[in-house]
Amino acid sequence: IKAVEVLESTLKRIDSVEDKVQSYLTLTEDIAFCKANEIDKKIANNKAIGELGGIPMAIKDNICTEEILTTCASKMLHNFIPPYSATVYEKLLMEDGVMLGKTNMDEFAMGSSTENSFYKTTKNPWDISKVPGGSSGGSASAVAAGEAFFALGSDTGGSIRQPAAFCGVVGLKPTYGLVSRYGLVAMANSLDHIGPITKDVTDCALVLNAITGYDSKDGTSIKRDKIDYLKTLNEGIKGLRIAIPREYFDENLSEPVRKALIEAIQVFENLGAVCEEVSLPNTKYAMAVYYIISQSEVSLALARFDGIRYGHRALNYTNIEELVKYTRSEGFGPEVKRRIVLGTHWLSGDKYKEYYQKANEVRKLIKLDFNNIFSNYDVVLMPTSATTAFELGSSQEKPLAREKLDGYTVAANLAGIPAISIPCGFDKGLPIGMQLMGKDFDEETLLRVARAFE
């Protein structure tokens, strides 16, 4: 089978479902055909091709792609064509992945439903009256609907894992520092990650293989020996120790999700793993800490959008102050503004000590909780989300209720540890996600456990 044929059939699929699902903000057919032809030529000439040779892929629209529009689903960047590419995108191209386009998301990755996009509303492919989750909703729906073989997402507080759970696919947030964020438009620097969204765990390992590695262009990138995640993937989990933190099985959890997870624990026991209940006592602070830290960092990261260097610029102004003010008033949507205002507040004057600094101290306690558990266990098992995908439009007016929904995913970002969401059942035709968290840089074990469950 030729790369061009794979591409053609994927484009046909996009043609038939994209009207309903709306995963993409930009389609890059011409670029895709160029690449597919190049790969077919290599094959015809008996030249080696990369590990992702000819595989159609989609990239979240906050990851910079040279000469391809990168909007972050914001009006602010409606005209932003980056002059350079993110390291992850370059790595995927080097492995001969075929770029199909850029996927829809919540504006600047702020949200859990992709409804905060300035441009369009993505639907859940399993039921188009439901949200796909967010903020990487377009990436997850594209993979679930067969509009791409895999996609990249970003995850600051759950934005890869929660949409993966809602769309019935696999989503991995790697360890902080394992995958370069150079070229990712920052939301909150100490929490942002890039990771794969795939149909299954094997694909996840394959894509992770392609995107890991030290990058001197990202100051938080960490030097480590390269691991082949496919190598140990099928070794099974006999004797492995799985921790079940009771705080994550709280009263917010819906009954169908609880039931699916209890059945999953049974499956792991049958596979020879030891499952035991544990406690992560500081987990109850994770949401508060996440919102203080993320909003504070949002207010810093988004300060660069001033209408002068790139993106949207207001038309009518009489001085530079007005230029910046009108540009930001017009360019940012309500959720982004809400977070910038809150973040600026947490950091202003003495409040810095009371909020941002204190939140970082509690962040350390949350990390210590995990360290304690991992001295005795290999992975931690919990839900990805309290519920399955919710109704479109249902979460719009209540930011605080919405924030509650993120309760199960943010701790992994605060601790920097790897976390994966895999499908573990259905309720009323909608997928349920199970989340597994692992030790720092132990994606190998995490993927092995996830794979054993499939």
Return residues touching ligand GLN (CB under 6 A): 109-112, 135, 155-159, 187, 294, 406
Nearer to ligand GLN (CB atom), residue 107 or residue 440: 107
* Peptide bond before residue 135 is cis, with ω within 30 degrees of 0: yes
Based on the residue annotation, tell me whether 159 is a catalytic residue of this protein.
Answer: yes
CB-side exposure of 298: number of CA atoms within 13 Å?
A: 26
3-state secondary structure of 28: coil
β-bridge mates for residue 382, sequence order: 435
CB of 367 closer than 8 Å to CB of 416? yes
Q: Which is nearer to ligand GLN, 159 or 221 (CB)?
A: 159
**DSSP secondary structure string for all residues of 283-348:** GGGHHHHHHHHHHHHHHHHGGG-SSSSSS---S--SSHHHHHHHHHHHHS-HHHHHHHHHHHHHHS
Catalytic residue among 23, 85, 139, 159: 159
| Rounded least distance, CB 155 to ligand GLN, Å | 5
SS3 assignment, position 87: helix
- For the bound state, the minimum distance from the C-beta of residue 196 to ligand GLN, rounded and expressed in Å, comes to 15
Identify which of residues 159 and 180 has a Cβ nearer to ligand GLN in the complex. Answer: 159
Instruction: Compute CA distances 336 → 56, 228, 353, 376, 388, whole Å.
Output: 32, 38, 24, 41, 25
CA distance 75 to 97: 29
Distance in Å, CB of 135 to ligand GLN, minimum:
4
- Least Å from the CB of residue 344 to ligand GLN: 17
The H or E element containing residue 395 is none
User: What DSSP assignment string belongs to 351-393?
Assistant: HHIIIIIHHHHHHHHHHHHHHHHHTT-SEEEEES-SSSPPBTT
CA distance 415 to 439: 10
User: Cα dist. 443→100, 179, 262, 436, 450 in Å?
Assistant: 27, 12, 24, 11, 10
Task: Name which of 159 and 435 has its Cβ closer to ligand GLN.
Answer: 159
Kindly state the smallest distance separating residue 108's Cβ from ligand GLN, in Å: 8
Paired with 383 in beta bridges are 434
Token look-up 């949002």 returns 298
The whole-angstrom separation of Cα 194 and Cα 436 is 17
Please confirm, yes or no, whether 358 is among the known catalytic residues: no
Closest distance of CB 7 from ligand GLN, Å: 30
CB closer to ligand GLN, 110 vs 253: 110
Catalytic residue among 135, 139, 141, 299: 135
Contact 112, 81 (CB under 8 A): no
Decide if 375 is catalytic: no
**Catalytic residue of the set 60, 102, 130, 173:** 60
What distance in Å separates the CA atoms of residue 63 and residue 71, rounded to the nearest whole number? 9
Residue closer to ligand GLN, measured from CB, 98 or 105: 105
95 or 155, CB closer to ligand GLN? 155
> Closest CB to ligand GLN among 157 and 307?
157
Rounded CA gap, 168 and 125, in Å?
A: 10
Amino acid letter, residue 208: L
Smallest separation (angstroms) from ligand GLN to the CB of 443: 19
Q: How far is the CB of 341 from ligand GLN (least distance, A)?
A: 15
How far apart CA 98 and CA 86 sit, in angstroms, is 16
Catalytic residue positions? Answer: 60, 135, 159
